[in-house]
Amino acid sequence: MIQFVGIDPGGESAMGWCVITVRDAGVHLDSGTCTGADTCLNLIASCVDGSPVSVGIDAPLYWTYDGDRVSDRRIRAAVASAGGSSGTVNHVNSLRGACLVQGILAAVAIAQRWPSTRVTEAHPKALLRVWPEADAFVSKHPFRTDHERDAALGAYAAKAYHEHSPGWVDWISRESNVFLPSGRPVAYWFPECPEGHRRG
């Protein structure tokens, strides 16, 4: 058995979480919504056996000292070329506080609770637009809210990170002069040159 976690940080009753459990018999998802990083981690802990292998968090986990992140520029362009809105991938300075603060708090809490668990940034809405397999994954599982769906896509990205899925790269390795607000090593595992697809 191997487990992957996704977190979609948000405000009151809007923090999505998901645990993907992979067994020989297949894949099982547990998911829900809550308020706050501490409650979120406790709910996740009730669904994992030991430590999850990796976690995907839908929030910027690294910042640059000057200008836009390379990853944001490139992924924004890919989303636009796939027929999506360039506003899907915002500049870090324009994001809501709940996303930024709860995302960093979650990354710190994960490092404290599960020191061996690796953490990657995730961008579920961009992933849905540019990576058809993500769309296929979502269509197999019913979700009560978009927060749960986005958390599940965070776990999907965490699985791709663990497996080093073909076509995916660690975008943080292409940045220079970055700041890690959590004080912990993180990755940003996302498709390198995604083939955009228009959703009907």
Looking at residues 9-27, what average pLDDT do you find?
91
pLDDT score for 7: 97
Find, among 15, 14, 2, 12, the residue nearest to 109 by Cα: 15
What would the pLDDT profile of 83-107 be if each residue is shown by its tens digit? 877 566 765 554 555 667 889 999 9
Q: Are 151 and 6 in contact (CB under 8 A)?
A: yes
What would the pLDDT profile of 41-98 be if each residue is shown by its tens digit? 999 999 999 999 999 999 999 988 888 889 998 999 999 888 877 566 765 554 555 6
pTM score over 0.85: yes
What would the pLDDT profile of 178-191 be if each residue is shown by its tens digit? 999 999 999 999 99
Band (12; pLDDT cuts 50, 70, 90) = confident
As a whole number of angstroms, the distance between CA 10 and CA 58 comes to 10
pLDDT score for 66: 82
In words, the CATH class of domain 2-191 is alpha beta
Residue 106: phi and psi, rounded to 5, are -65, -40
Q: What residue segments make up the domains of the chain, in order of their start? A: 2-191
Q: Left, alpha or beta for 36 (phi > 0: left; psi -120 to 50: alpha)?
A: left
